[in-house]
Structure 1
Amino acid sequence: MSGHNYAPPGKCRVFAHRGANREAMENTRNAFDKALRYAIDGIETDVQLSRDEVAVLWHDRFLNKAGLNDKKIDDFDYPQLQTLINPDSENEGIMTLRDFLMTYRQCCHLLIEVKNRDWEPFTRHQTKMRQTLDLIGNDPDQTILVSSFNLASLEYAHCYRVEVPLIYNFEPDQTIADVRRLLITHAFLHGFCLPISSTDQAIVNLLHDYRKCVGVYTCNSDTEITKALQLGVDILISDLPDKALLLRDQ
């Protein structure tokens, strides 16, 4: 039943979702720096792959948040992506995963979601995952978690680097029956990240019985944050980390 050095449930850790994304453009240095002004426990971010296979921080496939509604992240090589400056980003280009890790791995815990979706060939999924794990490198204290909605990518990651703590992200339509099955078939998983809307005490208790880390996304309202805290989850992901911290610590 054991996970990778899983610690029993304690104080819920608050992770800033793509940085302080209500105060600065998401997944930018400015958003991460603003998040660190609060007493956050961690930062969550997203990894995509440029056309020339550079791991970059970007949530969507399309580049509408950079002002290019009909263009995709994988239409461009990284040097081209660097030139796509959105005025809302305070003149920041798209950040590489390498630069993110170099800057922030010593500041707090990190949750890196590898965005492997069906529109991309699995060979690119593998490349993205290998790059992510290689860039993380040696992490004996396991301060960096790697997550994905793509189970096959996590299976591949486990074979590639068995020591890395891996988190499976649940879709809203997945249930406790899926949890029970995965606890048997994918016992290597360090934990699960669940949508707060469909998370209940039974799922949290089951995962904790198996010593799995429980995260929830994305908790923004007072009701959502309070629910997560009352459920006793390990990681609370929020667009409003300052609010989450206030409710947790009051």
Structure 2
Amino acid sequence: MSHTQIFAHRGFSGKYPENTMTAFKQAEKAGADGIELDVQLTKDAIPVIIHDRTVNRVTTGKGRVSSYTLQEIQQLKMKDNEHEKIPTFEEFLAWTKNHSQLLNVELKTELTDRSHIKELILPLLNKYGVEERTILSSFDHKALYLAKQEKPHVEAAALVHQAMVNPEDYLRMLEVEGIHFKSSSLLMHEAQALQENGFAIRPYTVNTVDMMRQFFSWGCEGIFTDFPDLALDVRDRRISGY
């Protein structure tokens, strides 16, 4: 029976403020196999961890992430917990270097930022010694391709939110090893074809027991979930035959 890896989506975001150090630490404590996080740049070109292009949804501030300096963005209060702050990518890496979780680093880019990936983000993976357990992903496939050219030894996966025609050919062109797909966009035989062609498949965001069981039965390499504790329990019961 295949062992599907469980990635905590934006950390343990089902119970803690997403993409915060608390969410990451709680994901590690829960036993997640991996941690997924989103990286983009501040106005002063510091990589920080936040999903949206703007700070509106998760903080009391307003405006684009790229319009704030690091000092300004870290003064914002998180809506779910005013004691939390938007962490820097380096802060996370300094913590995770002492742990063993796989890392899924989603590259969030503005059109002017693609050239900054190899200069400001990718070197940090080597600095903190995490390249061998990192997967790079992005909806910006050109940015992902450029990152793969810079770090060909680091695993990469294309993020997609809808069905594709001839996905194997496209993924080979991108020179990536996997595909991270919206859970409702791929049928089982399509997933099996991708795996038979050597690609790792990981659906997002898998938050119900039925969906977890489905993708475990498919033999997916991994799933992304807001509830790693639930996914671990479902996987353990499946392995035990319950």
Q: TM-score, normalised by structure 1?
A: 0.87
**Amino acid of the structure 1 residue aligned with 2:117:** K
**Structure 1 match to 2:93:** 101
Match of 1:14 among 6, 16, 24: 6
Equivalent-residue separation in structure 1 for 2:33 and 2:203 (angstroms):
14
> Unpaired runs of 5+ in structure 1?
1-8
TM-score between the two structures when normalised by the length of structure 2: 0.90
Kindly provide the amino acid, as one letter, of the partner of residue 168 in structure 2.
R
Cα offset for 1:141? Answer: 7.0
SS at match of 1:83: coil
Task: Output the CA distance in 1 between the equivalents of 2:158 and 2:29.
Answer: 29
Matched, 1:113 2:116: no
Report the more deviating stretch, 37-46 or 196-205.
Answer: 196-205
* Aligned-pair CA distance for 1:128: 3.3
Per-residue deviation, 1:90: 4.8
Partner of 2:170: 182
Which residue is 1:142 aligned to? Answer: 132
- What do you get for the CA RMSD once the two structures are aligned? 1.9
Cα distance, 1:149–1:19 mapped onto 2, change above 3 Å: same
Residues 1:243 and 2:230 are matched in the alignment: yes
Contiguous gaps of at least 5 residues in structure 2: 238-242
Which string of whole-angstrom CA distances, capped at 9 and with x for unpartnered residues, describes residues 144-187 of structure 1? 1111011101111122222111111112x232x2413314423x
- Tell whether 2:47 aligns with 1:31: no
**What does residue 4 of structure 1 align with?**
none
> What letter is aligned with 2:219?
G
Letter in 2 for 1:192: I
Equivalences, count: 234
Please state if 1:151 is matched with 2:138.
no
Give the AA of the match of 1:142.
E
Q: Deviations over 1:50-96 (max 9, x none)?
A: 0111100000011121112x411111111111111225235122101
Question: Closer, same or farther in 2 for the Cα pair 1:141/1:80, shift >3 Å?
Answer: closer
Question: Does residue 1:85 correspond to 2:77, yes or no?
Answer: yes
Change in Cα spacing, 1:225 to 1:87, as seen in structure 2 (3 Å) is: same
CA contact (8 A) 2:60 2:79 kept: no
User: Could you tell me whether the CA contact under 8 Å between 2:47 and 2:88 is conserved in 1?
Assistant: yes
State the distance in 1 between where 2:107 and 2:172 align.
23
The DSSP-based 3-state class of the residue aligned with 1:237 is strand
Q: Which residue of 1 aligns with 2:240?
A: none
